[in-house]
Amino acid sequence: MSAGYFPKREKLGLEDLFKGLVTASHILHYHGVLDAYGHISVRSPDNHSTFYLSCNISPALLSSPDDLTEYNIEDATPVEKDAKPGYLERYLHSEIYKRFPTVNSVVHSHCSDVLPYCVSGVPLRATGHMAGFLGTTVPVWDISSHYPSGSKHDLLVRDITVAASLSATFKPATSAGFLYSKMRSALPSQIGGSSEPSHEPDHFVVLMQGHGFTTVAHGIEEAVYQAIYTKEAAKTQTAALTIHNAYFGGTFEGKVDVEGGGKIKQGKVKSEGELKYLSDREAADTWETNRRTAMRPWGLWCREVEVCPLYRNECPGGDDE
């Protein structure tokens, strides 16, 4: 595969970038993360204030640089005046790039395996070492309190104000975070102190109430890895919860209100056993290890879509090919 867009690579060219972005869209469709909807974007290597996103087309049908549009991060407007119609939710990408200078790729998905964790109140957790990037907490962002007056309540991130709220969820301004940053700034640099605010998100994945999820990364391959293994983590957790509840069952405990017709008051379900999730240390260490190997699955995934007749990638390769 052509070089150019993974953060540790020395060479970065637009031809490689376009080819990689089209390939990434195909991979995410092939693995069921995207269907006719959803999208992946990448920050421009030549201009840090712009990013590339496909025009309004299904991810599987992207095939050439003509299908890609360059947008201004400041307001999500196309750089070229005659650009093809784009996605309504391009603001989702622009506000994330605006808030996090270290983020270079964003994936937004409506994956049905993840959606139950967007509506059920059951937290999505890292059940295995391939999903360490989830950490021990995956926030759920609810758009319902962020709609501008007079706007459609269709769950779409269709303007800057709503998108800014979503982007802030990747690094919430909590009192604990504020105290932590103050403690870091008070320490000598030799032992980890720093007066510079971190531009890294606290979370790599945010779930969206009734909508899907968004993941942010330092490069395309990393973003694709996170999107695919977010889906796999959700599938694993759902299966684990299912067999756990089927095996252990549960009992309902409470007080019976005789005068109230036999209704149970202060009732709760008591179950045996508990699921084992990754600890903070395990999540951090597994992701530190796995992010260094992201090119291994990327090579396999590229080959899968190269040999599938559904996908066409007519982007020219870079000089390294």
Q: Which two three-digit tokens encode residue 125?
A: 């957790």
Is 89 an active-site residue?
yes
User: Using CA atoms, how far apart are residues 70 and 18, in angstroms rounded to an integer?
Assistant: 11
CB 180 within 8 A of CB 172: no
CB 4 within 8 A of CB 20: yes
317: left (phi over 0), alpha (psi -120 to 50) or beta: beta
User: Using CA atoms, how far apart are residues 226 and 206, in angstroms rounded to an integer?
Assistant: 12
Alpha helices, DSSP H, located in 170-205: 175-186
User: Using CA atoms, how far apart are residues 33 and 43, in angstroms rounded to an integer?
Assistant: 21
User: Using CA atoms, how far apart are residues 121 and 1, in angstroms rounded to an integer?
Assistant: 41
User: What CA dihedral angle connects 180, 183, 189 and 192, to 10 degrees?
Assistant: -40
Distances (CA, A) of 267 to 115, 170, 274: 28, 36, 20
Residues 74, 80, 89, 222: which is the catalytic one? 89
Strand order in the sheet with 205-208: 68-72, 50-54, 39-43, 105-109, 212-217, 205-208, 140-141
Closest CA to 315 of 35, 10, 101, 25: 25
Residues identified as active-site = 89
